[in-house]
Structure 1
Amino acid sequence: MTVTSRTPRTALTIAGSDSGGGAGIQADLRTFFACGVHGLVALTAVTVQNSLGVQGFSEVPVDTVTGQITAVAEDMGVDAAKTGMLATAEIISAVASTLDEVHIGQSYETPFVVDPVAASMHGDALLREEALDAIRTELFPRATLVTPNLDEVRLLTGVTVTGRESQRDAAKALLEFGPRWVLVKGGHLYDAPDCVDLLSDGTRFVELSGPRHDTENTHGGGDTLASAITASLAKGLGVPDAVAEGKRFIERAVAESYALGKGVGPVSPFWRLAP
């Protein structure tokens, strides 16, 4: 790979496509751009969706998913990577093996963020149990950081988070699966006046608090947060600083979210481009 002083750092998203443009690889790529890193893509699925929800999806063949990862890693290099929608246990297992082949993950120098897209914004399961188990056993042990929302925490660990104490219990339960760090997001604790996310490596427990904005337009919020964190990791920040930077990014993105379509509109990274 030829690198010049003008060559930006690179971040790889391994995720599905959102035809409405609010989440998935579309949210990842525009967040990477807004954060100043070059986005690389391994597409896992094509969804049929809009602001009203997901009407269907088609998986990308496993060999094509893994081939995309290998192609960009061997040619362009990857400074940090993240996952989003992985759809099936077969894809999850293949992605995990391929990440080892290209030296991405907590055992290597390249950070790896797992956004375990396992539940819809309404709390409905999006993955079958065998795929949830593959996330636990194959992705989490390779992860530098995992970023579940509270419904995903419940599906993955059985812990129902109702407040600060159970949020800490959830972090401990997730760490038992082997990630180096966990970020238990608190955005779905709607009775809380602030959004408090809990970051932990098992020794440190860091609460990151931010304002709760009065908007229903939060589509793609989890993808955007994970992507902003991944971009910061790609630029060399450590996990606590990268998460703090990602938290600041998503707070502004939610504050600047906009209505689009007849349902839930997306969060917006466009604030970063304002003069």
Structure 2
Amino acid sequence: MTQTLPPQAQISQPGIEAEMDPRPEFEPRFPGVGRLKGKVALITGGDSGIGRAVAVGMAREGADIAILYLNEHEDAAETVRLVQQEGQRAFRMAGDIGQDDFCRMAVEQAVTELGRLDILVNNAAEQHVAEDPLDISPEQLERTFSTNVFGYFHMTRRALPHLPRGGAIVNTTSVTAYKGSPTLIDYAATRGAIVAFTRSLALALVERGIRVNAVAPGPIWTPLIPASFDADRVSEHGSSAPMQRPGQPWEVASCHVFLASADAAYMTGQVVHPNGGTIVNS
């Protein structure tokens, strides 16, 4: 392993982007051309990392943005500012997507504030390192599935009545769904569940004209990394990828923007793999 980042760690999840060194790169590399003009997107985990990059990328393409987040208020406020800087309206709300009541209230308030809902991005996630499978407690297992799987179900169920024909759902999964992880077993299991969820939901919604796809990032520089691993492991993040570096959030968010747009009109049930060159053969 080689050093790719300065050693650093944070004490709790989901992590704070403002404390990272260097800051993740979220800004799109190209001017918008109105691919999402007039649309409204709701993004879970939209305060930072991949979620922030998706919010800014979709705003640049003309969408108004609602972001949901757990408790990272300063990061969320900055993302709202960035969306508004792109000339779009923004709404934010804090809470736990593992709770169905919160998901119901969040969707209702987002629709009230922004007038409609066209795109749902299920992105929020948590992960916890366990060197031994016996260290995964029932409480940790339930918490990881609550956020990473149940949260996606809750948000989808609450959003579906508002999504029109032509709407889109984009789920964030992970390369760990395909290659596994010996120290993130419960997390990898949830990511595999999201692949199956994406494929099944896509088939169920074809007749409604709603497309469902997913993005499976590799090692990306987001707040979840220093909030999950010790400083030494953080310093080597991404070095095992064929490109020998961590990806940046903007390099992933462009996939979400594409899948949400009419450019991907003939794609549903698919997974895009911005993972630095890892071949997953699926």
- The TM-score, its normalising length taken from structure 1, stands at 0.41
Answer 1 or 2: which has greater strand percent: 1
Higher relative contact order (CA 8 A, sep 6+): 2
Answer 1 or 2: which has greater helix percent: 2
- The TM-score, its normalising length taken from structure 2, stands at 0.40
